[in-house]
Chains A and B, each alone.
Chain A
């Protein structure tokens, strides 16, 4: 099976712009979660989608949003970018929703740099 794919792998944006990141889960997986990783804050949960519905949301401002399509592919959007949004954004897929007892498969991430 192909792994989780994320596009683009690298992105440079300017403050105030918006960005859309894409994630394709492993075939057959219907749950997709997004995480932000920074040196200062570590790995932080953004949100989780299952069957096109957001099931869980982390403690991030409303500038961070996401959605999931009928084919389980997911996108996340960050509007009005700030310098502090520079991070590695990771997508993870699993066969079922909820992450406590299901293995998550992570993609390689999208490295976003905001200048």
Chain B
């Protein structure tokens, strides 16, 4: 099972771009990279998923370098409501996913 490492916490201000990097040195060929967001006392919410290169949706962008040993979640122009814990997960079709500790993002006004 691929293990991920991400910063425990990050601070930002409203309107700034936030980049959260996740390391996954043991990523396997078939592994996908998925990011979830979680607010207190709620279930995680899917943000974005990718396999290689760059993926963008209406919420975020995911940058994956060619070696796929890391990935960066980019949140453009964060707001106070983006204060949450962000989890990076790596897994395959049959794996059970490991959430890890996540990154606690605090956005200040």
- Give the interface centre of B31, B43, B49, B91 by most chain A CB atoms within 10 Å: B43
Residue count of chain A within 8 Å CB distance of chain B: 29
Given contacts A4-B43, A90-B43, A107-B43, contact A45 B98 (CB under 8 A): yes
- The yes or no answer to B77 lying at the interface (CB within 8 A) is no
Minimal beta-carbon separation of A17 from chain B (angstroms) = 23
- The yes or no answer to A111 lying at the interface (CB within 8 A) is yes
Q: Decide if B100 touches A100 in the complex (CB within 8 Å).
A: no
- In the bound assembly, the distance between CA atoms of A73 and B105 in angstroms comes to 34
Given contacts A43-B87, A109-B41, contact A103 B46 (CB under 8 A): yes
Q: Decide if B42 touches A109 in the complex (CB within 8 Å).
A: yes
Q: Decide if A100 touches B99 in the complex (CB within 8 Å).
A: no
Q: Decide if A100 touches B32 in the complex (CB within 8 Å).
A: yes
Which residue of chain B is the closest to A101 with respect to CB atoms? B32
Describe A's contact surface by its main secondary structure: strand
Minimal beta-carbon separation of B39 from chain A (angstroms) = 11
The contact sample of 30 A-B pairs, CB cut-off 8 A, is A35-B99, A42-B102, A44-B99, A45-B96, A45-B97, A45-B98, A45-B99, A48-B96, A55-B94, A56-B94, A56-B95, A56-B96, A58-B96, A88-B41, A97-B94, A98-B94, A99-B95, A99-B96, A99-B97, A100-B31, A100-B93, A100-B95, A101-B32, A101-B49, A106-B42, A106-B43, A106-B45, A107-B43, A108-B42, A111-B41
Minimal beta-carbon separation of A33 from chain B (angstroms) = 8
**Contact surface of A with B, Cβ cutoff 8 Å:** 4, 33, 35, 42-45, 48, 55-58, 88, 90-92, 97-101, 103-109, 111
Minimal beta-carbon separation of B45 from chain A (angstroms) = 7
Which chain B positions have C-beta within 8 A of A57? 96
Minimal beta-carbon separation of A19 from chain B (angstroms) = 19
Which residue of chain B is the closest to A4 with respect to CB atoms? B43
Which chain B positions have C-beta within 8 A of A98? 92-95
Q: Which one, B44, B51, B95, B96, contacts A106 given CB within 8 A?
A: B44
